[in-house]
Structure 1
């Protein structure tokens, strides 16, 4: 089988949004897939970056040999349809790695067009059982496999600090865009925990009581540096406005997608606290790498009940999953499940 993919330009080597796709290209190469486009680049200028991607895709289609298997990553904006056209023209099979499904993001509504586009693939790698079931309800035609968790390629740095847990003050980390619920965390009943925040959008003026806040903003770091900067005990996967549920479009999407944030936490060697309706909640519990809650108001009791032995076991389980994530094993297994 002639297995190929087409590398593209990404806005930055340090952009969290593009890291999952960049990592997928590397993992494909490690599994014997060949890049038939230009080399992967990281140029921030949108016009120049788009031109590079145009040339890369066009070169890839010209180089594409009849009967090959072409791996695409979705969404690929204006280029996905172009690649499909080239693949079908040369009678190639198409494997698509699905990163985002616009139809599941609420604000876009259900799109028959999106399903029709993805139906042109021969095989799809989707996030998890929940997303797979949704696709099956839409009568999707391609063969499906789950990635289970998105890999996060990284080499541990010796300067990374991992402070042993202090059960008297457990550090719960939230990394990413600061949603409205962040400032409500101060309203939780006090316990043996605090919140360390990493990312963009933090507004100290929204803190209700600066003298007694449990929020500690640590700053914002590039995607390839943040793993070595985060030093915490548990990673929080939560979105929206409320402490009681992950509401809004982002919260609803959490019921289907694999947040890259979860993989980031695991590489930081932290067990996970996750909304119980999130698609990844079962993965967290089955792997023994954290616990799920229906409301953030449950955190105080859940953390207070954990014994040092239970926390040590969670962290040991985290290290096992981390080893697979940082070496690309999850995508590799999905490829093998589809005989790719």
Structure 2
């Protein structure tokens, strides 16, 4: 039996928790068995801690010999314990990575994280570049590539059949503080330009703009955004610079699969992404956007994309969006990981 371990999630407006609860929903829909307690969303820290602890303990008694347990990583202090417990019960462990603590948050050293992940039998990573990075650092577990995170929502995009507008509108959704995304203010102050910038999120610092040259929409829920987003492109970018790969978050883009890219696609928008990003090859392969070395290239690139080229990208985006809405990529990756372990599902 393929199993998973549910826990408490403190708020699904957080992109990471949205991704995790979506994956639980996908696994449940495919008949995977929850060996923990039922998923909850308590916001009280003490209650959340106790619930997750009891869910972990329950899993020890629920697992049976021959089961395959799918874990979502990080699982904080419980991860190694759950893996060891599963192996003790005669089970295999598949780990789906959401975040690498040693890379972005620096809460673990690289050797510590590799040692922790090596408790798994197979690991689902975001991209080929993340796979290569883990192999270089000494990972021993089998590896499969997710490609992109699914994004569940019953809301339909209002932009799915819209024709491109002139001037072109470029959207960014997420944290808007200059601490992590200084590039937004450099892009906003880069005037004159032929395209508009539309911002959704919190932490906006209007005083950092020399002129009122962006359209700030505030924070909206993901479902509301899918239903109402108006624009031509979504920007998948982080860091301090218009050049790709700057800063810790910018460099991390070389390996990870940002959840915001899935959200843009569900909004029906082609994407703009750094040419060396982990998902750049996915964008190129599926022709769902443009890959650039620097955001300063946008002016020239937009002038060369005609309506037919844009409509082709838009059509391809809608194909991927439908897959994301059905949990296609998560289930495929788990199928492949199970096959690596000699287990057939689906």
TM-score (norm 1): 0.93
Partners of 2:95 and 2:123 within 8 A in 1: yes
Pairs within 5 Å for 1:185-334? 185-210=187-212, 213=213, 215-334=214-333
Give me the whole-angstrom Cα distance separating, in 2, the residues matched to 1:336 and 1:321: 19
Q: Measured at CA, do residues 78 and 109 of structure 1 come closer, stay the same or move farther in structure 2, by a change above 3 Å?
A: closer
Q: Considering only aligned residues, what root-mean-square deviation do their CA atoms show, in Å?
A: 1.8
Q: 1:155 to 1:238 in 2, by over 3 A?
A: same
CA offsets 1:300-321 (integer angstroms, 9 cap, x no match): 1111111000010000000011
Shift of 1:139: 3.1
Contact 2:80-2:119 at 8 Å conserved across structures:
no
**Inter-partner Cα distance in structure 2 for 1:153 and 1:102:** 25
Q: Residues 337, 91 of structure 1: CA spacing in aligned structure 2 closer, same or farther, 3 A cutoff?
A: same
Return the alpha-carbon distance in structure 2 between the equivalents of residues 110 and 51 of structure 1.
27
Tell me how far apart the structure 2 counterparts of residues 170 and 255 of structure 1 sit (CA, whole Å): 27
**1:26 partnered with 2:25:** yes
Given the two structures, how large is their TM-score scaled by the length of structure 2? 0.92
Give secondary structure in 2 for the equivalent of 1:273. strand
- C-alpha separation in 2, matches of 1:110 and 1:54: 25
Q: Which runs of 5+ in 2 are unaligned?
A: 340-344
SS in 2 for 1:140: coil
Q: 1:19 aligns to what SS in structure 2? A: helix
Structure 1 gaps of 5+ residues are none
Seen in structure 2, the aligned counterparts of structure 1 residues 9 and 273 have a Cα distance that, compared at 3 Å, is same
Paired residues in the alignment total 335
1:74 — aligned with what? Answer: 73
Deviation at 1:113, TM superposition (A): 1.5
SS at match of 2:76: coil
224 and 50 in structure 1: CA distance in 2 versus 1, 3 angstrom threshold: farther
Distance in 1, matches of 2:30 and 2:88, equals: 26
Aligned equivalents of 1:317 and 1:230: distance in 2?
18
Question: C-alpha offsets along residues 266-288 of structure 1, whole Å, 9 cap, x if unaligned?
Answer: 00000011111111111111110
2:199 is the counterpart of 1:176: no
Q: CA deviation at 1:189?
A: 4.8
Q: 2:162 aligns with which of 161, 164, 180?
A: 164
Shift in Å at residue 249 of structure 1? 0.4
Q: What is the distance in 2 between the residues matched to 1:58 and 1:110?
A: 27
Asked if the contact 1:4/1:33 (under 8 Å) is kept, the reply is yes
Are 2:71 and 2:96, in contact at CA under 8 Å, matched by a contact in 1? Answer: yes
TM superposition shift of 1:324: 0.6
Q: Which deviations, in whole Å up to 9, do the C-alpha atoms of 1:67-113 show, x marking residues without a partner?
A: 31111111011221221232122121111101111222274574211
2:13 matched to which residue of 1?
14
